[in-house]
Amino acid sequence: MINPLKSIEETSYTLHHPAIPPSINGMTLTQISDIHMGRWVKPHHIKELCTHVNQLEPDLVLLTGDYVGYNKQDIARCADALSSLKPTSFAVLGNHDYWADAELAQAMFEPTPITLLTNEMVVHSHNETEINIIGVDDHVTGHANVAQAFQDHDPSQRFGLTLNHVPSIAPECAAAGGHLILSGHTHNFQFNIPRLTNRLAQSFGVKYYAGPYKIKESILYINRGLGSASWPWRIRAMPELTHITLQHGHHPILEFNQASLFGVGSR
């Protein structure tokens, strides 16, 4: 059996941004994306991953879509595995969740402690300081409504943390006041050959496909995801777990701290 999660790259960054209030300096976020539970990613892999994340005790866990491949039976299996997450967690759906079963995907998070955001915003308090967490629904299947998701967000008043599966609409999220936008979906094409991957992206008209980008005064971060729906192989585009620490700063910069490897499951 192929286990794509026997080697995961754990990347760590610090986000410096003027919209981050100094009172939440040091707040930690962990992003999990594109699990694609199914043929290669199994519930025991995700339970082990959740144990690892629980031990790190981030302040928030943010899940950016594509929990399954094409099989609706995997929706409940993924929700069950993720329900062991202990930190406060928020999620959005991806295109595969809609393709597998739209209704089940919507209902998937109800019995879990994870809050699903579908074109909506919640106010989250940390150190008695409020930030807005905005969840944009999936763009590929036509469910994204950026205006609705951001309608109650005033970027001059609160830091806007945005979850948005498909990064191609990140400029809209940035224009609406998303200071940090977390995306997935692209998997870095699951292959990263310098120049060739870039040329391929250009030929498909894909502007944003992996890692950090600055869009005006906003930072977009695209996690490469954990699993995959169609094939398990990756070339220099390892599965990724991302950690971001928030820090007030005069200019928006996502500073790279370190990368390390860990794995889940012996099979």
Q: Which residues bind Fe ion (CB under 5 A)?
A: 34, 66, 94-95, 185
The DSSP result for 18-51, as a single string, is TTS-GGGTT-EEEEE----BTTTB-HHHHHHHHH
Give phi and psi for 244, each to the nearest 5: -130, 130
Q: Which is nearer to Fe ion, 124 or 139 (CB)?
A: 139
What is the rounded CA–CA span in Å between residue 103 and residue 45?
25
Nearest distance in Å: CB 66, Fe ion = 4
Among residues 233, 232, 240, 187, the alpha carbon closest in space to that of 42 is found at: 232
Nearest distance in Å: CB 75, Fe ion = 15
The DSSP result for 127-158, as a single string, is TTEEEEEEEE--TTTT---HHHHTTT--TTTS
Q: Which is nearer to Fe ion, 178 or 227 (CB)?
A: 227
Q: Which is nearer to Fe ion, 27 or 82 (CB)?
A: 82
Q: Which is nearer to Fe ion, 41 or 219 (CB)?
A: 41
Nearest distance in Å: CB 31, Fe ion = 14
Q: Which is nearer to Fe ion, 4 or 94 (CB)?
A: 94
What is the rounded CA–CA span in Å between residue 34 and residue 37?
9
Q: Which is nearer to Fe ion, 33 or 112 (CB)?
A: 33
What is the rounded CA–CA span in Å between residue 207 and residue 183?
13
Consecutive H or E run containing 262 = strand 253-262
What is the rounded CA–CA span in Å between residue 84 and residue 78?
11
Q: Which is nearer to Fe ion, 35 or 161 (CB)?
A: 35
Nearest distance in Å: CB 187, Fe ion = 6
What contacts 125, CB < 8 A, 6 or more positions away? 131
Under 8 Å between Cβ of 74 and 46: no
Nearest distance in Å: CB 182, Fe ion = 14
Nearest distance in Å: CB 247, Fe ion = 30
Nearest distance in Å: CB 152, Fe ion = 26
Question: What is the sign of the dihedral through the CA atoms of 263, 264, 265 and 267?
Answer: negative
